[in-house]
Structures are given as C-alpha cells and as structure tokens.
Structure 1
Amino acid sequence: MKEAKYIWKDGELVPWKEATIHILSHTLHYGNAAFEGVRAYMTEKGLAIFRLNDHTKRLLNSTKIVAIDCPYSEDELNLAQIELLKSNDFQNNVYIRPLVYLGYGAMGVSHKQAPVNVAIAAWEWGAYLGEDGIINGIKVKTSSFTRNSIKSTMGKAKIAANYLNSQMAKHEALNCGCEEALLLDDSGFIAEGSGECFFIVRDGVLITPPYDNSLESITQETVIEIAKDLNIPVVQRRITRDEVYIAQEAFFTGTAAEITPVRELDFRVIGSGKAGHITQKLQKEFFDLVMGKNQKYTHYLTYIK
C-alpha cells in the first residue's frame, strides 16, 4: 500500500502512522463497523470524487441499519473527505475509505456503550483486479461459500462483519488459480462477487441480479444508467450459474473493480474469452464519465480545488 501523509480521524488530520486504535476496540472483536469505498480520479481539472454524496449517504444508511449513532452529519463527512484529499499530495487516482467503528471503552457483545469513532483514509490505488484484467478479463470460480443470507445478516449495510464471507470466497478462488469468486445466494442464484456486482450479456441484453440479498451498488446503478443512455436493453432478474456459461459477455462492477470483464467462469470460456463489444462500450463511457469527459454526468463529480 502506498502511504499518504494524513488520515482524517475524529475531526483531525493525523499523520498516517499515528492513526491507530486500541487493541480492545469493540469493532476489532465483534465486527460491527460501517465503511465505504469511494474513488477520486485525476481529471484534466484535478482530482474529482465520484458520487461523493451517494457514498456518504449509503455509509450513514449502513450505520443506521447496524444501530451505530454516527457523530457526524452527511455534510460534515463530505467536507472531511474533501479536506483529506486537499491535505495529501496525490498525483494519481485515489481510493477513499471512510470507516465508522466502535472504539475502546466497553467489552461484551452489546455495543451501545462503546464509543463511536470515525476515520477516513485515502491512498493512491490503481485497478483493483489488475490493469490487465480491465483489458483482457479475469478468471472466476463459483464459490463453495454461499452469500450471506438475509435470514441471518443485513446485506443492505456495508459492514465489516459481512466481509468475512467475501474474504473466504476470495481466498478459495485465488488458491484455485482464479482472480475472483462468484457467490450464489441460498436459493442457488448468482448474488455477486466477493466485492462486486455482476452482469452478463445475452443476445444484446444486459442482465444483472436483483438486490435481494446484496448491497445496493452505486457503480451498478451508474452502469445501468449508462447502458440505457446507449439504448442497450437492461433487465434486472435472477441469473443461474449455467446461464453465465452460455452468455456472450460477463463483467464485474464496483468502486474498486470499476468495470472488469470476466473471460472464464469455472474453466469455461465466456464468449470470445475477452472483453465483449457491449462491455467495451460501457467501459469507455464509464471512464469518460469519471474522468470528467462527458458533460451529461458532471453532476456525479466533486472536484477538489
């Protein structure tokens, strides 16, 4: 990881190496913390945060779902992220990680007596699944781990505890020689990747799973909007694993993954084995959007000046 100068922590800019927590912080033991993944892109006009307001709103929705009372408002958190980027000398694209967590002061499963802390880190970061993956696609394995069931956890919250499931799925996929995992829900339909939403293309139609038991993805929503503007038909419905095998195209989306093509699933080549025509069109439009090259979508960018 490429370190930056400062991390924003409870209202102050703290040197990177000094932004620490106590070993008995409640979240460290019990996993209740809400976080976000946000990107800022180095455009011709300087750094611009992609859909800042939407990410912060989802962060606060997550804290509400898991009964954490965040001490900062949406406006305060937005300004904190802007302040953090201004304070660091970033020269390339940046990943931003806001985190609302339970600190030191109480132990035991009940969390309401634990203090609430907020930190925001940012660092320069390239393609999550590799630059080659963005161009040529990645190998994916259907995971033996089922996506967390809505019967036992809350998928609309982006919370730390949910990601143990993702971590184990990713670990399994990497050890099988693949770059990413694809998880099914407890009914056997495709849910999402370990940290991404999923799309396929069949007969010119873009298809993506519903939000039944997964996070409401901001990048997925953006891709759907772009597709409709390009007159690409979009359907949100359940997808089976074998349907992916016979799809013409498949790709992941997410803040980290952006738009990453899937060239293989379970050692079956998808389509031509590389980024398909529709995937490439969506990639071009998406990267034009986040780089400030499409005036229609400038409202999605918050420029750092």
Structure 2
Amino acid sequence: MFDQGEILDESKVSVSIRNKALNYGLGCFEGIRAFWNDSQNQLYIFRIYDHYKRFHESGNALHIPIPYTSMKLIPWTLQLLRKNNVREDVYIRPICFKGANTLRPNLLDQYNRVSIYCTQLTYMPKPAIKVCVSSWTRSGNNMIPPQAKSTGNYLNSGLASSEARLNGFDEAIFITDRGNVSEGTGENIFIVKNNKLITPPLSDHLLAGITRDTVMQIAKNELQLPVLEQSIARTELYSADEVFFTGTAIGIKAIINIDHRMIGNGSEGTITRNIRFLYENIARGNNPKYFGFCTPVY
C-alpha cells in the first residue's frame, strides 16, 4: 500500500489507537475503480483525474487539505497497481485523515496523513436488487456535508444499510428532512419515467457522483434521452417505469422492488440495461469516443 509518500508492505503500516480519525471520524476518502480488459491485456483506471479532483474538494470542504497534488497521487496510484501486479478488476481507496493523537476533535491540526490501498471488490453481485426507504434521514448539507466523502458521514449510511438488511432488503434509499428522495447509502439514484431520466439535484443532500455524471452523459449523447435534475417525491419511486443505482462500487444496478412494490415488470428495464452496457464498455476501454476517461496502467 501507499503511505505518506512510500510504497510499503501493508503489515508495516499502523495507526495509533489514539488517532483522531479513528476516535472522531476526521477524515475523507475516495473510491476509484480500475477495470481489466482481457482482450487488450490492459488495466484501465476509470476517471482518475475526476476522482482525485473530488478528493481535494472533499478535503478543502472539511479543513482536511490533501498534502499531495493530483499530479503526485496519480503516478503513485499507477505505481501501486504495478507493484501489486493487478490484472483483474480492482477497487482503489485513497484516504486522508487527521494523524494527530491529541484529544480534541479539532480539524485545524496540521498533520494530514494520506494512504492508498487496493482490494478486490464483490459489491451486490445480484443482477437486480430489492430496496426500502430508510427510517433514517439523510444527513443534511448543513450537518455533515454529503458532497464531501467524509469518513464520519458513513455512520449514517451504515445505520440505514444495516436496517435494510435486517428487514430482508438489499439496500436502502435515504429521504431528506423535506421528504425528497436523496440517494442510497453509497449510491446515487435515477428513475425512468415516460422515456425521461430523472435524478435528484445536489441540493437534496447527495454526493456529486462520478458514475452519476457518466450516466448523464451516456443518456444525453448516446441514447438521446432527456435528463432532468429535479426533486423526486417518495411516491414517484413506486410509479417509475425503471429505477437504478449508480456508483463507483456498484456500477449500474437495477432496482426491481421498493418497499415491497414491484417496479416496472419486476426485472431490469431496457433503458437501464442499455446504459449499463454502454457504461461497462466505456469503463473497460472498449469505446474510443470515451477513451479519455480511461488511464492505462501498463
């Protein structure tokens, strides 16, 4: 793994039990995917520049400035993947956290530590999932800003996700304090209605997802679908023609049942399937039009 400017064996990296990130959640992170293309014998990192741009934006918003530029982090990420000889789909996790061991939950301490590790990922392997609307409200923009990927904010996600699984669902959907649909516990959400693609605006307490942005580009440029960013009421989920999640980890995942109500015909819809097919080809470096999104490792 990478830690503070060095590629090290993971067994040599440790964090004190007194660390403020561990005690208070004072950190931010990114999630990046790299996709193996067997026919090209190549590993492609998807939209790495955009991910590291968001990493820095998260740090700036939270008083956790990232001490390394993207132009340093990107070569280190490539070196890490090469050092591990990664030749399969992989998830990459950069994290920056308060390295100090003092007691106060103070974000103004100067020591910000950066680590990067990579791991295999199996994330909801089902082709389509059943979800519920959570009883937990999404953290608001004036609480713990969801536009920043902060470590502390994922307790909110953990509570909602655990509740969903305990009740027999695969995942949860958050509602805002005003009753609008926000996002999943780690995914953005889209609905299809009357051949229009609709997703909540950032003002409804959600992360500006990079997969979300990719899907919006695919829908507009490849499928000529109108794409709307507008608030979605809970009941609009139940009457949607199609619903799906998007995210770095989950990719494009059809939602076929919400709160025990079947969505559409109870299987992945045509528009969701088309978007997923296009996205997967783009991410694996098979679409020359979008090759700028892909950074080859080897």
TMscore range, shorter length: over 0.9
Question: How far has the Cα of 1:259 moved from its partner?
Answer: 0.2
Aligned residue for 1:160, secondary structure, equals: coil
1:72 aligns with 2:68: yes
Percent pairwise identity: 36
Residue equivalent to 1:95: 91
Structure-2 separation of matches of 1:80 and 1:140? 38
Partner Cα distance (1:74, 1:148) in 2: 29
Deviation at 1:120, TM superposition (A): 0.2
**Structure 1 position 129, deviation (Å):** 1.4
Q: What's the counterpart of residue 286 of structure 2?
A: 293
- Say whether residues 1:63 and 2:59 are aligned partners: yes
Aligned AA (2:107): H
Are the equivalent residues in 2 in contact too, given 1:106–1:113 (CA < 8 A)? no
What per-residue deviation string (whole Å, max 9, x for no partner) do you get for residues 250-301 of structure 1?
A: 0000001100000100000000111000000001000010111111100000
Match 2:188 to one of 168, 172, 197: 197
Matched, 1:227 2:207: no
Aligned length: 294
Cα distance in 2 between the residues matched to 1:218 and 1:89: 26
Structure-1 residue corresponding to 2:158: 167
Structure 1 unaligned spans of 5+: 1-6
Q: CA deviation at 1:112?
A: 2.3
Gaps of 5+ in 2: none
The answer to whether 1:129 aligns with 2:124 is yes
Other-structure match for 1:279:
272
CA distance, structure 2, for counterparts of residue 99 and residue 257 of structure 1: 19
Amino acid at match of 1:20: S
**Aligned partners of 1:38 and 1:50 also within 8 Å:** yes
Deviation by residue 1:44-75 (Cα, 9 ceiling, x = unmatched): 24111000000001000111001113221111
Matched to 1:48, the amino acid is Y
What's the counterpart of residue 167 of structure 2?
176
TM-score by length of 2: 0.96
Q: Give the RMSD, CA atoms, in angstroms.
A: 1.1
Aligned pairs (5 A) from 1:240-279: 240-279=233-272
Contact kept? 1:37, 1:96, Cα under 8 Å: yes
Q: CA deviation at 1:16?
A: 2.2
CA contact (8 A) 1:22 1:104 kept: no
Q: Structure 1 stretches (4+) deviating beyond 4 angstroms? A: none
Distance 1:217 1:205 in 2: 19
